Amino acid sequence: MRRSFINTQVKDPDLARVQSNVELSLRSLGEVPLLDGRLIKGLEFTGNTTLRVQHRLGRPFNGYIVVSTNEKVVLKIVDSENQDPAQYIPLQTNTYDATISLWVF
């Protein structure tokens, strides 16, 4: 969830410059797609079965990063089931069962 910077009107010119610099810095961070995401923990995958992961980003996902896993697995998007990218990511592991946490952005 993004929050807008609230610019408070101040009479002190030095404080106004500091506030302006903070606003510019925060705006540039907001342009980094990777930071606009969420952590999803403890997803239970069964080998070769598609899991529709609800990401709750409020927009189509750009990608994901595996944060942790308890098995050495390959995780892939199932393109044929990627019908609603604004809501879900259809993911599948190879033949192993695994518990995986993802950063979705």
Give the structural domain span for 67. Answer: 36-104
Residues in the chain with pLDDT < 70? 1-3
> Looking at the domain assignment, is residue 45 inside a domain?
yes
Q: Does some domain include residue 63?
A: yes
What's the CA dihedral at 31, 79, 83, 70 to 10 degrees?
-70
- Count CB-CB contacts under 10 A for residue 82: 15
Q: What is the pLDDT of residue 89?
A: 97
Per-residue model confidence (pLDDT) at position 7: 78
Number of folded domains that form the chain: 1
Looking at residue 31, its pLDDT comes to 80
What does DSSP assign to residue 43? E
- Is 3 inside any structural domain? no
* Nearest-10 Cα torsion for 82, 84, 85, 89: -60
